[in-house]
Amino acid sequence: MKLADGDFLLPVDKPVGPTSHDVVGMARRALGTRRVGHTGTLDPFASGLLVLCVGRATRLSEYFTGMDKRYDAVAHLGIETDTLDLQGEVVSTSDAWRDLDRTAIESATATQTGPINQIPPQFSAKKVDGEAMHRRARRGEEIALLPVPVTVHELAVTDVALPDLHFTVRCSSGTYVRAIARDLGQALGCGAHLRALRRTGVGSFDLSAAVSVSALDDARAVTAACMEPCEGLRHLTQVTVNDEVASRIRNGQRVRIADPGSASEALVAVTCGSDLLAMATLDEGVLRPRKVFPA
């Protein structure tokens, strides 16, 4: 699997407004293929990096979902909404933000950093009894959700323009930035909701290399932004094999490699040159193909 065969990863800068599925539809029309998928949803009100998989690279989407995310965000203090963002109905207001200073704000952000237990939003894609929470919430149901362990690696306040609080986040997959805004508001005693969100990074993918939605029909811009499948899997160990071993891997055979390295890996990407051959497990020097990409 390689770019030259029409199989590639495409970082796209999603604007505010369209859904992630809308962007996939735009890419399908512009690129002339139905085989387009994305690796992680952005809410319509959010903008920023959406990584698309094109061609056979759609089979790789599961290997990108667990990567850390980076965001620029704005929390609006003093107003809480049912969805925790600007699109929801106001449920409470407070003027307590007027008495806040930088010290209090920095102290509150410190409580939201590191390994934390975060209660997911009622309006979310999280499933309870097989149904997404946002569907139940829109019917007026309120479910007591258990806290979920997540990690906020970095949370930095970049600007204080009360009642707006601008901050950046680097967090583990599964972290809700809307919930961070909610919890910051609660820690500050005034409530808050998320007013703006822009995703700036997903693992090793960066927004600076993304193509705009308006340029999806510009072949030169798309070519400049697209990535080889094996390049996008840099977060995994890559095992390079020769042509003989590549043939066996493509046939789904287990292969013992001459130099297994110092440790076994649960999952590796097997390559031959720039060609991604398979996703495999490596155990005691034996490669076991799990997902093979024929030539």
Kindly write down the DSSP assignment for every residue of 177-219, as one continuous string.
HHHHHHHHHHHHTS-EEEEEEEEEEETTEEGGGPEEGGGTT-H
Question: Measured between alpha carbons, how far is 275 from 246 in angstroms, rounded to an integer?
Answer: 10
Cβ contact 233:63 at 8 Å: yes
Residue type, 229: P
Question: Measured between alpha carbons, how far is 68 from 294 in angstroms, rounded to an integer?
Answer: 30
Which residues touch 258 (CB under 8 Å, ≥6 apart)? Answer: none
Task: Give the C-alpha distances (Å, rounded to integers) separating 117 from 111, 145, 150, 176, 222.
Answer: 11, 12, 6, 11, 40
- Concerning whether 218 is annotated as a catalytic residue, the answer is no
What backbone phi and psi angles, to 5 degrees, belong to 257? -95, 150
Question: Measured between alpha carbons, how far is 181 from 112 in angstroms, rounded to an integer?
Answer: 10
Longest dimension (CA), the chain: 70
Within a 10 A sphere around the Cβ of 53, how many other Cβ atoms? 24
The one catalytic residue in 7, 43, 72, 85 is 43
Cβ contact 180:157 at 8 Å: no
Which residues touch 9 (CB under 8 Å, ≥6 apart)? Answer: 51, 52, 53, 54, 57, 60, 205, 226, 227, 228, 229, 231, 232
- Catalytically active residues, by annotation: 43
